[in-house]
Structure 1
């Protein structure tokens, strides 16, 4: 199903997420928004993130500076900056609206003052809907994901929805579940409360680097595949 983009409001978008569907467009200038409810859904178990030794070393190195919700629109813009994107300009504006309303968040990775990676998503109840991520230097998106998962666990989240499963996400512990199983997990998560900015939360790099798990999953194309650019 597609709907003219100018007819979608932030409230409609939130109601769609609560129903288990999410928006996509066919390009930056696409005037339509398509509602997607995949038969197989990607999720990342919050206790199942795989952190390799090399990634843990990179997190501990202090090479990156991590911020939260300081540059949301720049993260979305960077995620959309690729040859093919589902993030139309209207969808980008809707996410900016959700961010101002407190329902969308970003984790930013910086080298000095330069934004080099990040993740953004939407929150409802104890569910986090991961939308996209990007990386301009090696492992920046993986570092962002590790910090995001650690934050979600600390804030009481129960569901990390990656929507589709990409090879990149599968390598980090994501898996596929059926549509019915996903809707069951979503319904449960929506009855609970969680906080993306829990009081007093300030993890050290070593704590984030040690928060690893093990889970299996198969790979298929999807939308949280990071945009990789060199700089």
Structure 2
């Protein structure tokens, strides 16, 4: 595939059609489009917060932010032996972030970035791309805050692309391609907000939500999220 032909606009159209890009490795210049027969999703009303994760959310001194270190989050996700994020993909997502279509949730220990999640938003769909963890449960905590944020912002679909054992333990499921495309079409018929007005939940709200979307999490607490 001619890499010069891929633009952020083409990438967004691909997501709207239900496909996403991957490279075979960091040094592979080619990008391949993927539309899995079985699609992984994380139901926004079924995110599982275990007792240990709930304790981490409530007691951890870590700080959680949103969209403050997008490029660093993508770089951290690619910092592993095997990755599908090559230079072209990295540049495309940074460009989408600049236009407000790609977002990240970051977890900090002091000034150290120790966990995070990033993905693309279209309509009421969040296409989760990758996550990383440099401390036990840091990526799970980032996911918990992300799910709470998506519920507060009116999202209806969290696409994880594939289902891993890790995601399954958090409530992720696999659905057939035709079911995914039906849900995607419904999610594109509307508009969610990754930064809802007044959104600033406390850790107890996130820990107690279990992704059920029972409340907006709109409070005046500002120490944990931005």
Q: Could you tell me the TM-score, scaled by structure 2's length?
A: 0.92
Provide Cα deviations, 1:171-192, integer angstroms capped at 9, x if missing partner.
Answer: 0000000000000000000011
| Counterparts of 1:7 and 1:19, CA distance in 2 | 17
Which of these residues, 123, 132, 135, is aligned with residue 134 of structure 1? Answer: 132
Cα displacement string for residues 99-144 of structure 1 (whole angstroms, at most 9, x for unaligned residues): 0000000000000111000000000000000000000000000000
2:28 counterpart residue number: 30
**Which 5+ residue runs of structure 1 have no aligned equivalent?**
215-231
Give the aligned partner of residue 223 of structure 2. none
Match of 1:117 in 2: 115
Aligned to 1:51: 49
Where does residue 164 of structure 1 map in the other structure?
Answer: 162
**Residue 12 of structure 2 corresponds to residue 14 of structure 1:** yes
Aligned counterpart for 1:82 among listed residues 70, 80, 85: 80
* Corresponding position of 2:186: 188
Return the alpha-carbon distance in structure 1 between the equivalents of residues 198 and 211 of structure 2: 24
Please say if residues 74 and 90 of structure 2, whose CA atoms lie closer than 8 Å, have aligned partners that are also in contact.
yes
Instruction: Provide the rounded CA distance (Å) in 2 between the counterparts of 1:213 and 1:146.
Output: 8
Alpha-carbon separation, structure 2, partners of 1:46 and 1:213: 5
**Matching residue within 78, 102, 106 for 1:104:** 102
Give 2:70's aligned residue: 72
The alpha-carbon deviation at position 4 of structure 1 amounts to: 2.6
The offset of 1:213, in angstroms, is 6.1
Residues of 1 paired with 2:100 and 2:61: CA distance? Answer: 29
In structure 1, how many angstroms separate the alpha carbons of the residues matched to 2:187 and 2:20? Answer: 17
Aligned twin of 1:217: none
State the number of aligned residues.
212
> Is the CA contact 1:75–1:106 (under 8 Å) kept in the aligned structure 2?
yes
Hey, what's the Cα distance between the residues in 2 that align with 1:122 and 1:79?
15
Cα distance, 1:64 vs structure 2: 1.1
Contact 1:103 1:123 in 2 (8 A): yes
Give the secondary structure class of the aligned counterpart of 2:140: helix
